A and B are shown apart, each in its own frame.
Chain A
Amino acid sequence: MNKKAISPTLLYSLFITHSAMRYDVRGWMVWLLVTAVLIMVARNPLYTILLLLAVQLVKKRHYQPENQAFQLSLWRFGLVVITLSALFNLLMVPFGQTVLFTLPESWPLIGGAKTMEAALYGASNGLVLVTLLALFMAFNQIVPVSDLVKLMPRALPDVGVVLLVALTYVPETQRHLQQVREAQAIRGQEIRSLRQWRPLILPLLIGGLERAMSLAEAMVARGYGSLQTTRPSIGLQMGLLVGLLAALGGWLAGQYVGWAGWLLLAAGVSLVVALVWAQGQRSVRTVYRPRPWRLADSWLVLAGLSPAVILLFVPNLQLAYTPYPAFTWPPFSIIVGLTLMLVAAPALLPRKL
């Protein structure tokens, strides 16, 4: 257990925030979203490798050592994913013209000719998956938890408080667990079977609930929830219902009738977002030492948006590639390649403000 305990530095990153020295988290969100969409849309292994390199560059430049709570060897994991994906696709997909070998037709599901195209296609899909994972790993290592919590929508004040209480109590609970363990060890209690976890888990649970009760009393004494009601009005509930219906209807209709459906989907999504935003305006949130928006944040947003904006103006844009039916070398355009390398632009920005 000790091996996996949260490092004390994570604690500090939760409470001691040098937010003035970091980029605004919304800037990183722009970079994350644009890059994620590019990875999913540009399904050409050459471009995917470029994107993977760009993401790694940004991570190398900006990662915060105290954020590394979750360690995974990307290269080892990536190799496993790509191999498995290629194997599965090779066995399951009966398309392609370059036959490698043939399994007897009588074998269920996997019988038939096995082609090189299928294996290549599987491998390139695995590569996309690994790149997505690398992107989110980078994001998690760049942005600290305390900044992520700030992204909680204002329409969810109570849920936000629960989140903060939970994050505050995680280290506290770990300490408590350690104490209970030591106390039971002094009594000669060993943990060999699952049943022997009882004297460990129950004091932890009951102690936690006791603390919850005193916390609730303290909150009530300070007037929590006495003035505001976050209960949604009937109008809001109806609006949300209509918005979700429109979104679902538009999504389904978009597959058959095209742009009219997509328009309806967009209208539904915007209605829900607007309603939630308006609900958020009703709750007051005060910030201790507000952090102003800085010029460097604007540069980050600009850097994040630049590849997507430039790609919109590239003539005859061709991002997708498929090895079927017969393998041809994936096309590579210098302009598109250079534009995709702009994903690495945040690596040019200074590490600290």
Chain B
Amino acid sequence: MSKREREEENAAPFAPRLSHLAPRTSHLGLRKWLSGALFALAGGIGVVALVWPFVRPVSQSGTVGTDLVLTVILLTLCLGVLLVEVQGQAVNAKVVATLGVLVALTAVLRFIENAIPGPGGFSPIFAPIILAGYIFGSRFGFLMGTLTMLVSALITGGVGPWLPYQMFTVGWVGLTAGWLPQLRSARAALLMLVAFGFLWGLLYGVIINLYSWPFIMGQAATSWEDGLGVAEGVQRYAAFYLLTSLVWDVTRGVGTAVLLLVLGLPTMRALTRFQQKLSFTNE
């Protein structure tokens, strides 16, 4: 019996002996380190897969087609590993119920996308994910991001090879929102979240574009080539980006920021109150 378990027993001598059912509390440091390493590695693989078109060496074996298949497989693998990891750490009945309801709410918000006035590219899903990640912690945010994309893909019939990357990226939006410092002043926190939301609105577009670029532009000797210099590759990507999506991304960033600015404070208040009511522990 470890020291900690003994302490727990002393603290509640009449509590039923359920220690064999409770998760093991030993090796906390190692667990934390392993968990961090898993996240870092999965994120790293995501980044490598993204910048791949720029640094790809000249190779005879393997066409772009197989490269794309590999990328999708690796990303799905990373996503699965992270979900297994997060699920084991953060989930109980309260989290399951709250997540389910919030994901449903955000997916419905996506339906009224065209009712909330906004030009193309604007998407209302980032604001609730950022708020939930900030209030309920990074693991909650990660699950909320990935599952929102999954649920809205399921109900709109948008399942496709783009889905793993969307889930992965939006999961990181929620995850990083949980990393932000907890500020005392609600207004300061809101301003921080507004800036954060704007940045992620832009970044999301860049990432999804990088992912879809080889899909759209295809094989070697087109806009990205085998062994093309990094500088030239970046230059071409920049042209592609300016041409196709900068306007959309800016609207997404601005839209998220405006949404947070207008609805952020009361939403934060409601979420914080429920966090206390459900006695979540914020890691």
Contact = CB atoms under 8 A, between A and B. Distances in A.
A230 B179 CA distance: 24
Given A166-B107, A244-B41, A10 B161 contact: no
B101 A208 contact: yes
Interface in B111-132: 111-117
B258 A194 contact: yes
B101 A125 contact: no
B102 to A, nearest CB: 7
Given A109-B239, A159-B87, A85 B216 contact: yes
Given A162-B143, A272-B81, A324 B21 contact: no
A322 B221 contact: yes
B266 interface: yes
A177 B110 CA distance: 13
Contacts of B158: 70, 140
Contacts of B78: 244
B111 A232 contact: no
Q: Which 8 A-B pairs have the closest CB atoms?
A: A165-B100, A169-B104, A40-B65, A125-B218, A70-B157, A140-B157, A231-B88, A216-B97
Contacts of B240: 88, 92
A99 interface: no
A310 B219 CA distance: 25
Interface secondary structure of B, over-half rule: helix
Interface in B60-118: 61-66, 68-70, 73-74, 77-78, 80-81, 83-85, 87-89, 91-94, 96-105, 107-108, 111-117
B270 to A, nearest CB: 5
A151 to B, nearest CB: 10
B263 A201 contact: yes
A238 B231 CA distance: 38
Contacts of A122: 222
Most buried by A among B63, B105, B216: B105
A129 interface: yes
A276 B84 contact: yes
B12 interface: no
A174 B154 CA distance: 16
B130 to A, nearest CB: 15
Given A125-B216, A167-B154, A230-B88, A136 B159 contact: yes
Interface in A161-183: 161-170, 172-174, 177
Interface string A190-222: 000011011001101110110111011001100
B91 A213 contact: no
Interface stretch (B31-39, B186-194, B196-204): B31-39
A69 to B, nearest CB: 5
A202 B270 contact: yes
Contacts of B30: 234
Which of A166, A201, A247 neighbours the largest number of chain B CB atoms within 10 Å of its CB?
A166
B235 to A, nearest CB: 7
A51 B119 CA distance: 36
Nearest to B86: A159
Interface stretch (A16-24, A249-257, A295-303, A339-347): A249-257
Interface string A251-286: 110111010000001000100110010010000000
A269 B89 contact: no
26 contacts: A1-B112, A40-B65, A41-B65, A43-B219, A67-B157, A69-B157, A89-B223, A121-B222, A141-B157, A156-B80, A158-B87, A168-B100, A173-B108, A204-B105, A205-B267, A213-B98, A215-B97, A216-B98, A224-B96, A229-B23, A234-B30, A237-B85, A243-B81, A244-B38, A244-B81, A247-B77
B151 A167 contact: yes
B239 A219 contact: no
Given A122-B222, A162-B103, 11 more contacts: A125-B216, A126-B216, A148-B159, A167-B155, A170-B108, A216-B97, A232-B84, A234-B30, A237-B38, A237-B85, A241-B37
A93 interface: yes
A128 B215 CA distance: 9
A261 to B, nearest CB: 10
Give the secondary structure class of A's interface.
helix
A40 B69 contact: yes
Nearest to B58: A255
Nearest to A157: B87
B56 A255 contact: yes
B48 A248 contact: yes
A169 B100 contact: yes
Nearest to A230: B88
Given A166-B151, A229-B23, A208 B38 contact: no
Given A202-B266, A248-B48, A173 B105 contact: yes
A326 interface: no
B112 A4 contact: yes
Contacts of B236: 92, 109
B161 A197 contact: no
Given A1-B115, A197-B262, A211 B66 contact: no
A92 B241 CA distance: 13
A170 B22 CA distance: 33
A95 B101 contact: no
B262 A10 contact: no
